[in-house]
Chains A and B, each alone.
Chain A
Amino acid sequence: MDATSFPWELLPSSIHEEILSKLPISVLLRLRSISRSFLSSIRSLPPSLPFPRDPFFLLFSSSSSSYSISSAIVFQPSRNRWLSMPLPSFPATASGPLILLSDSLFNPFSGTPTPIPPHLPMTTLIYPLSLIIEDDGTTHRSRVRIVVVSTSDRIRSQIYDSASGSWTLRGELPGRVHMLGNAVVLNGSLYVLSFGPDHLLKFDLLSGDWEIVTEVVPSVACAHLVAFGGRLFLVAGVADLLGVMLSVKVWEFDWENWKLVCSMPDEIFSEFSGMTIMKHFHVCDGKGMVCFYSYSGNVFLILDLMDWRWWWPRKCPLQCHLNPFLGVAVEPNAEFLR
């Protein structure tokens, strides 16, 4: 061995595993092209290893006139970089590596779509609420469930289950709701925000029972639910009577009340709002990282719930006049390494 050589292939495979499991999947995909030895070490990594978090936040431009788009601008916090990924149409929601489009599940990392059958007809407008992907421990195949809802005089839900390959009507909650916000999965249930009235709702995925859990913190806007580490958070802006944002805060639901856990520091808020009147911002989250975007400041901001750190991503190459908005977060999984 000369002074600079490093015999990777001579290291025991348990050391390969120790090293490679410290790298995000996206980096491992790149390292496959180093040599045969790297390729085979990476291919044989057990998918159950605790790889570092690596969410990708997808952004779209609302100024696209047609409904068909071809790509999304993507921010990857783990490497603080922007990249572009294919995307055939606007996404409804996402989970794991998959994005739910109107008629298919799309994997933006590989560019492959998987068609899904159309949902059951309903008399009122149906919109997608949640995509749930669970690893089936025995067959290594993921179970995919999709929940769609309609809200008129009551909430009606239907679920698609990849195990049966079909949709079933399941779940009803009487009472008029203006619309539903984002949904998160926690302990086998979906938690959903409703607006007008502003409630936290729970949908039991097994029984199909809907219930009202509690009210949402009063006088907030742009409310967004986040589930992370078994905890449930509400991220929202606090606005005055005219709807002008005064601050951005995070509350945790302790299963009785909402407890304030974090506020955006003043100096960060000033920069985020662009020192002008801010009435709206976008939020999107993945793996405990919450990504914010404000039109008024034309800036992106990240809050990491792991250590409650706020940080500014590298400047986005997308122009302000394109009115970008945050959509969904996806993450590559270990299956990609095969």
Chain B
Amino acid sequence: MATIITKEQQEKEKMVTLVSSDSEKFVVEQKVAEKSHVIKMVMNCCGIESPIPVRRVKGDILKSILEYCEKHSKGEAQEVMEKWDKEYMDKAEKDLVFFHDLMLASHFLHIQELVDLIAVTFAGMLKMKSPEEIRQKFNINNDLTKEQEEHIMTTFGWAFQPI
């Protein structure tokens, strides 16, 4: 006898549970989770019935990533997406630790679109700043020797002309 599947059940069947490293649970549509190449492979081989552990990613990061994946699985107009991406990045880059973890997680989960977006945003932060401003912003210690620094500054001196 054929089983009659209701629309609700059908919808329900497409849901998958993801568990962050700090045991936070997220129930999302399969097509949202599929945005991550890694999760997609796990779903392909192990199915979506049991929760999928995302061991290296903490709850707040996974939440933010799934927010991105959900928005990007809707197929909205390019202008809408660009605006949304910009706002998403504006928020993320305010907290550098969060931004750093988001970058690592999107790379680990293999969400290439998001990796690209973060890389472009990060490159934008570096582009218009002097080396000293960058060191300050990212709390980087200048560990180059005097000789190394001098060599760098003199070989392509034009690149260091004031912005």
Across the interface, A31 reaches (CB within 8 A) one of B96, B131, B153, B155, namely B131
Task: Provide the residues of chain A in CB contact with B5, threshold 8 Å.
Answer: none
Query: Chain A's nearest CB lies how many Å from the CB of B136?
Result: 9
**Total number of residue pairs linking A and B with CB closer than 8 Å:** 104
Across the interface, A36 reaches (CB within 8 A) one of B116, B137, B144, namely B144
Given the known inter-chain contacts A12-B107, A26-B159, A110-B156, please indicate yes or no for A35 contacting B143, CB distance below 8 A: yes
Chain B residues numbered 101-131 whose CB sits less than 8 Å from any CB in chain A:
103-104, 107, 115-116, 119-120, 122-123, 126-128, 130-131
What band does the interface of chain A fall in when counting residues whose beta carbon is under 8 Å from B? 35 or more
Task: Provide the residues of chain B in CB contact with A31, threshold 8 Å.
Answer: 126, 131, 134
> Which residue of B is nearest A336, CB measured?
B156
Task: Provide the residues of chain A in CB contact with B123, threshold 8 Å.
Answer: 19-20, 22-23
Q: A33 on the interface (CB 8 Å rule)?
A: yes
Q: B152 on the interface (CB 8 Å rule)?
A: yes
Whether the pair B100, A7 counts as a contact (CB closer than 8 A) is: yes
Give 1 or 0 for each of A56-95: 1 = CB within 8 Å of chain B CB: 0000000000000000000000010101110000000000
Query: Chain A's nearest CB lies how many Å from the CB of B149?
Result: 6
What band does the interface of chain B fall in when counting residues whose beta carbon is under 8 Å from A? 35 or more
Give 1 or 0 for each of A1-17: 1 = CB within 8 Å of chain B CB: 11111111001101100
Complexed CA–CA distance, A79 and B160 (Å)? 13
Task: Provide the residues of chain A in CB contact with B156, threshold 8 Å.
Answer: 29, 109-110, 332, 336
Q: B9 on the interface (CB 8 Å rule)?
A: no
Task: Provide the residues of chain B in CB contact with A1, threshold 8 Å.
Answer: 97
Complexed CA–CA distance, A6 and B137 (Å)? 9
Whether the pair B149, A14 counts as a contact (CB closer than 8 A) is: no
Whether the pair A11, B103 counts as a contact (CB closer than 8 A) is: yes
Query: Chain A's nearest CB lies how many Å from the CB of B133?
Result: 10
Query: Chain A's nearest CB lies how many Å from the CB of B31?
Result: 25
Q: A32 on the interface (CB 8 Å rule)?
A: yes
Complexed CA–CA distance, A26 and B128 (Å)? 12
Q: What is A's interface to B at a CB cutoff of 8 Å?
A: 1-8, 11-12, 14-15, 18-23, 26-27, 29-39, 79, 81, 83-85, 109-110, 332, 336
